[in-house]
């Protein structure tokens, strides 16, 4: 079976829908980092002035938290996708100048996928490999009643650790209790690929991930609730049934846990 996306046959997919609720206010920002210099998710406003969370932005945070988790098991499981690393054999870590020579080492895409690509990039994509994960923008689950909350802060000079000439700034935040719709699609993933993504989402379900910058001040705590999960596997019978009835197979909590166990078995075979 091909390990990369092959458009000549029908691939499996798994779709998950739910809601992301703000436990504490979520800062509106460009995602370029907060006053502490931490890069983080972008939360932006649409033309109507309503807040939404770009799916690509959410995906970046999800990917980082999976990377961090896998690296605690084994640093070789996940490259640091944002930096050029030497001595790490994953295409994502190659600079544009080195990439062509690097890619030439492999027979084909499957060869690179199996021998050069780290576990996270196999699922989330890298230079030359499409991502198996799609997350549409997270939009308001109900009508926006506003208003945004304004919070004042004082920026701190990191060298002197004093309030830099009392530089006041204002943070605009989406109020706690606001809910966004959440949808995620995994295409052509193995059970362990799916388990990797589902494991990352568990951290959001357990309220362990904060978004939006200024998180050290208690902002941006979120909680994900999964309402529904369904899949169509590569199994010809499942595909046939889906095409005839339009009904995918439900993936309940137990089945999701089994996929996470498939990943565990793969990355921690002796534990």
Interface with Zn ion (CB under 5 A), residue from 70, 90, 196, 229: 90
223 sits in which H/E element: strand 222-232
Q: Among 136, 134, 147, which Cα is nearest to 178's?
A: 147
Q: Supply the minimum distance, in Å, between the C-beta of residue 126 and Zn ion.
A: 6
Is-contact 121 81, C-beta < 8 A? yes
Interface with Zn ion (CB under 5 A), residue from 80, 118, 192, 222: 118
92 binds Zn ion (CB under 5 A): yes
Q: Supply the minimum distance, in Å, between the C-beta of residue 81 and Zn ion.
A: 6
165 sits in which H/E element: strand 162-174
Residues touching Zn ion, count (CB under 5 A) = 5
Q: Supply the minimum distance, in Å, between the C-beta of residue 118 and Zn ion.
A: 3
121 binds Zn ion (CB under 5 A): yes
Interface with Zn ion (CB under 5 A), residue from 14, 20, 79, 129: 79
- In Å, what is the CA distance from 234 to each residue of 10, 14, 85? 7, 11, 36
For the stretch 135-163, what's the b/e string if a residue is b when 16 or more beta carbons lie within 10 angstroms of its beta carbon? bebbbbeeebeeebbeeeeeeeeeeeeee
The one segment of 5-13, 29-37, 83-91, 103-111 that binds Zn ion by CB under 5 A: 83-91
Nearer to Zn ion, 70 or 79 (CB): 79
178 binds Zn ion (CB under 5 A): no
Angle at 260 between CA 256 and CA 261, to 5 degrees: 115
The one segment of 36-44, 115-123, 149-157, 255-263 that binds Zn ion by CB under 5 A: 115-123
138 binds Zn ion (CB under 5 A): no
CA 77 to chain centre: 17
190 binds Zn ion (CB under 5 A): no
Half-sphere exposure of 80 (CA within 13 A, CB side): 8
Contacts with Zn ion, residue ranges (CB under 5 A): 79, 90, 92, 118, 121
């Amino acid at each position: 079976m091909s390990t990369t996306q092959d458009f000549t046959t029908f691939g499996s997919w798994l779709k998950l829908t739910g809601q992301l609720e703000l436990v504490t206010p979520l800062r509106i920002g460009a995602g370029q980092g907060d006053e502490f210099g931490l890069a983080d998710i972008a939360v932006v406003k649409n033309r109507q002035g309503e807040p939404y969370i770009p799916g690509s932005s959410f995906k970046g945070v999800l990917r980082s938290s999976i990377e961090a988790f896998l690296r605690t098991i084994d640093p070789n499981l996940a490259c640091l996708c944002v930096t050029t690393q030497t001595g790490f054999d994953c295409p994502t870590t190659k600079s544009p100048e080195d990439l062509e020579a690097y890619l030439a080492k492999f027979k084909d895409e499957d060869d690179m996928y199996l021998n050069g690509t780290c576990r996270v990039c196999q699922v989330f994509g890298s230079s030359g490999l499409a991502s198996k994960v799609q997350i549409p923008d997270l939009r308001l689950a109900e009508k926006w009643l506003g208003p945004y909350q304004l919070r004042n802060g004082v920026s701190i000079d990191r060298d002197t650790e004093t309030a830099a000439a009392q530089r006041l700034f204002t943070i605009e935040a989406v109020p706690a209790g606001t809910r966004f719709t959440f949808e995620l699609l995994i295409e052509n993933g193995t059970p362990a690929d799916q388990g990797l993504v589902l494991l990352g989402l568990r951290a959001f379900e357990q309220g362990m991930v904060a978004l939006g910058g200024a998180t050290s001040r208690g902002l941006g705590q979120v909680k994900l609730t999964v309402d529904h999960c369904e899949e169509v596997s590569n199994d010809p019978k499942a595909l046939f049934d889906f095409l005839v009835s339009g009904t995918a197979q439900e993936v309940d909590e137990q089945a999701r846990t089994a996929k996470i166990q498939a990943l565990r078995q793969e990355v921690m075979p002796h534990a």
